[in-house]
Structure 1
Amino acid sequence: MDLQATPSARLSLNARAGELADVMIRDAARLRVGLARSPQGATFIDCGHRHPGSHEAGLRLAAICMGGLAEASLVPSRSGPLPWTVMVRTSQPWLACLASQYAGWHLDGPHGLPLMGSGPARVLARRESLFDEITHREDPGRAVLVLEGEVPPTPRLAQDAAEACGVTPERMTVLHARTGSLAGMVQIAARVLECAVQKARLMGFDLSRLSDAIGTAPVGVVHPDTRIAMGRANDAIIYGGQVHLFVTGPARSAKELAEGLPSRTSADWGQGFSDVYDAAGHDFARIDGGFFSPAEVAVTALDSGDTFRAGTSDPARLSGATGAPSP
């Protein structure tokens, strides 16, 4: 599948994300994020490691993850035990979600601890097999990388990433946060569309037919233990996420897409993500890719006006994500 839409040639994801990162730098004090520069000149924006960050920093981080091609906002939840939900909207679903937001670039942090890399720097580095399908390219004028993990990145990591992207360290911006931080939990909830688009890809759906996409997912409550935080954040998508995709082409394939997308189609459905993660030996590659998908899906076939719905949210399974103390 060749994912190259005509408008993408005029979009520089790194330039757009860089502009958003510059605004974060300007608003650093208000967002409670930290700023640093490596000896080589790379810029670090700490959204949730040594600095506390904030929910607003998480929304900004999500928009940067998607190369500035989507909007993320915090809205009240309609139902369920988690009071707040992230809403994401984009008119460039595959470009925003797969070419930029997908956390497919794995880097080694301090002490060998892994850091998951997302953001538009991936387009420049092209270290993933996914880019055999995504032919969108852009000039390496600037690189913006988002890292999630237990530890903050080092100057050496930023230098290596800059080399992989073909830019000097002075043109490298690295944003980072712990999974269980305020910003970390928000930016993970904002991946609800990414999960749906990636599952559509695994189903063999022609992603060039994706037109617009809207998604929501509850925000799990923070936790200092990365495993618990990861479980809360992913459960919120798997059991509480909702996505509406707008596609061109035959209504029949839109119906098939809707029926195949919800998380309940996975054999792992019904289990907490933390338990599935433990059973997989903490190896994401061993987890059924279909499990990483929203609970409830609607797909509208633009050519016919038909909308197909499948799956259902299961708020009761989100009780572990609330952070309520045990009785």
Structure 2
Amino acid sequence: MTTQASPPLAGCRLSVNALAEPLVRRLLDEAEALGIAYERDAAGVCIVDAGVATRGSVAAGVLVGEICMGGLGRVGLRADGSGGWPTWLDVASAQPVLACLGSQYAGWSLAASKEETGGKKFFSLGSGPARALAGKEPLFAELGYRDQSAAGVLVLEVDRVPPKIIVDKLLRDCGLTPEGLTVILTPTTSLAGTTQVVARVLEVALHKAHELGFALADIVDGAATAPLPAPSPDGVEAMGRTNDAILYGGRVQLSVKGSDGAARELARQLPSRNSRDYGRSFAEIFKEAGHDFYKIDGALFAPAEVWVSNIASGTTWHGGATDLPLLQRLWMKEAT
């Protein structure tokens, strides 16, 4: 691949939290219409329920997807049965590294024992703009980016309100007052939860490119699409469907600069079919791995099909392919 001369976001003055703030206000202003609810806890932190005790909606998930991208990405719902599935999510960003890795990526590990919570243990991976305020992940040193906003928003894929010890940690690590923090809860078993996870199709490609060692500074634009399944009431099945949507139905185009050799290798190595686990439902793979993500081949976490367009040469390289028949078998029954 290629080497990085300097952090890809060094000197970037964009604030993902400030850019997301108008979207957060819209989420709250349209809460009733979106089928969600919010309230402030005893300290003043805004907790948004986008599918725990509320119905939620696909529209809420689309908006949460844009919030996750720090206001630097567009997420749209498209009805197109010609592709083998009736609804698709389209995602695009002119700042894909910052939007996807500096904001959207679920990389902040948040855990508390049952002794610390006074009840059930808690675990979630935080995603969204507030990650860039805390900067707890080594990724931010690699990116050369930190945000300094006075308000922040974090998304948690959980089915209950985080305990006080976790909320206190968020406030402390982000340097926020309670009134400045918004936490959005999107269980994957909900409409909003399924939607906002599938909206990570471009982010999955960026993360895989990073894992492959491609120079992130050379990725200058990105667009992606993936089919949107119905959520499942079973947690493992719901997670499996969102992963399968990307692994077998995700299509991504990255615009890059640099050499044709590096672009070609990225197109060759990036697709999910390079994994030894490719070809089965993610739920099945996850169960066989004993519910341990680290036992699953990391090469699987990638979109199905990619195009890498080198703007320096005008050449586009293609790799991978979707498998919609597999998704249809997993998700659909004929009404006969």
Q: TM-score, normalised by structure 2?
A: 0.92
Q: Is the 8 A contact 1:142 1:171 kept in 2?
A: yes
Structure 1 residues 73 and 321: CA distance shift in structure 2, 3 A: farther
4+ runs deviating over 6 angstroms:
none
Q: Is the 8 A contact 1:192 1:215 kept in 2?
A: yes
Residue 226 of structure 1 corresponds to which residue in structure 2? Answer: 235
Residue 60 of structure 1 corresponds to which residue in structure 2? Answer: 63
Q: Which one of the candidate residues 47, 53, 78 is aligned to 1:75?
A: 78
Q: Is the 8 A contact 2:122 2:162 kept in 1?
A: no
User: How many Å apart are 1:120 and its aligned residue?
Assistant: 0.9
User: Is 2:98 the counterpart of 1:89?
Assistant: no
> Which deviates further from its counterpart, 128-137 or 204-213?
128-137
Q: Deviations over 1:95-117 (max 9, x none)?
A: 11111111111223771242221
Q: Which one of the candidate residues 144, 147, 150 is aligned to 1:141?
A: 150
Residue 260 of structure 1 corresponds to which residue in structure 2? Answer: 269
Q: Which one of the candidate residues 40, 56, 62 is aligned to 2:43?
A: 40
Q: Which amino acid aligns with 1:64?
A: I
User: Is 2:16 the counterpart of 1:3?
Assistant: no
Q: Is the 8 A contact 1:72 1:190 kept in 2?
A: yes
Q: Is the 8 A contact 1:80 1:316 kept in 2?
A: no
Q: Is the 8 A contact 2:38 2:48 kept in 1?
A: yes
Q: Distance in 1 between matches of 2:315 and 2:154?
A: 39
How many residues are paired up? 326
Q: Unaligned regions of 5+ residues in structure 1, if any? A: none
Residue 296 of structure 1 corresponds to which residue in structure 2? Answer: 305
Indicate the SS of the match to 2:50.
strand
Q: Deviations over 1:92-146 (max 9, x none)?
A: 1111111111111122377124222100111111222222312111214111100
Q: Is the 8 A contact 2:8 2:216 kept in 1?
A: no
Q: Distance in 1 between matches of 2:290 and 2:192?
A: 26
Indicate the SS of the match to 1:255.
helix
Q: Distance in 2 between matches of 1:155 and 1:26?
A: 26
Residue 324 of structure 1 corresponds to which residue in structure 2? Answer: 333
User: How many Å apart are 1:281 and its aligned residue?
Assistant: 2.4
Q: Distance in 1 between matches of 2:224 and 2:193?
A: 18
User: Is 2:196 the counterpart of 1:187?
Assistant: yes
Q: Which amino acid aligns with 1:208?
A: A
Q: Deviations over 1:227-261 (max 9, x none)?
A: 00011111111000000000011112111110111
> Which deviates further from its counterpart, 119-128 or 53-62?
119-128
User: How many Å apart are 1:193 and its aligned residue?
Assistant: 0.6
Q: Is the 8 A contact 2:247 2:304 kept in 1?
A: yes
Q: Deviations over 1:122-175 (max 9, x none)?
A: 111122222231211121411110010233324442222111111111111101
Residue 108 of structure 2 corresponds to which residue in structure 1? Answer: 105
> Which deviates further from its counterpart, 64-73 or 316-325?
316-325
Q: Distance in 1 between matches of 2:167 and 2:248?
A: 36
Q: Is the 8 A contact 2:102 2:143 kept in 1?
A: yes
Residue 169 of structure 2 corresponds to which residue in structure 1? Answer: 160
Indicate the SS of the match to 1:277.
helix
Q: Is the 8 A contact 1:40 1:159 kept in 2?
A: no
Residue 243 of structure 1 corresponds to which residue in structure 2? Answer: 252
Task: Give me the CA root mean square deviation.
Answer: 1.9
Q: Percent of counterpart pairs with the same letter?
A: 42
Q: Distance in 1 between matches of 2:268 and 2:61?
A: 31
Q: Deviations over 1:53-102 (max 9, x none)?
A: 11110000000111010000001245455311100000111111111111
User: Is 2:140 the counterpart of 1:131?
Assistant: yes
Q: Distance in 2 between matches of 1:326 and 1:115?
A: 38
